Amino acid sequence: MSFTLQDLGENIKNIRLLKKSRHKPGKPMLQKELADLAGIPASSLCNIENGRYKNPTWDMLTKIASGLNCDIADFFVKAKKEIPASQIALTEMIEMIVREKLEHILKESE
């Protein structure tokens, strides 16, 4: 799978939401706040986060990274998909059944 502008925007948005607002302690950083810190228009940041900005420059991304106090490389990491709890439970159940069957087979062979 290739890395898209949508992936870039989602990564920036996720990092921004993890950062705390300077103006409202305990709240995530708003787009407007990051745009002000980065010195870019809020509309540009909005378009980048939504994958609609077709050609974000390296300079613009560097400013956003500076505003977020992070490394620009963080923007280009492919996000890991979360595994649903039902999938984890099913996998654990299958492993338990297989383990029990193996133990049963081993006991019978003794």
Share of the chain above pLDDT 90, in %: 50
Cα 75 from Cα 43, distance rounded (Å): 19
Mean pLDDT score, 72-93: 79
- Which DSSP letter does residue 72 get? G
- Condensed to tens digits (0 to 9), the pLDDT of residues 28-69 reads 999 999 999 999 999 999 999 999 998 899 999 999 999 999
Q: Give the three-class secondary structure for 28.
A: strand
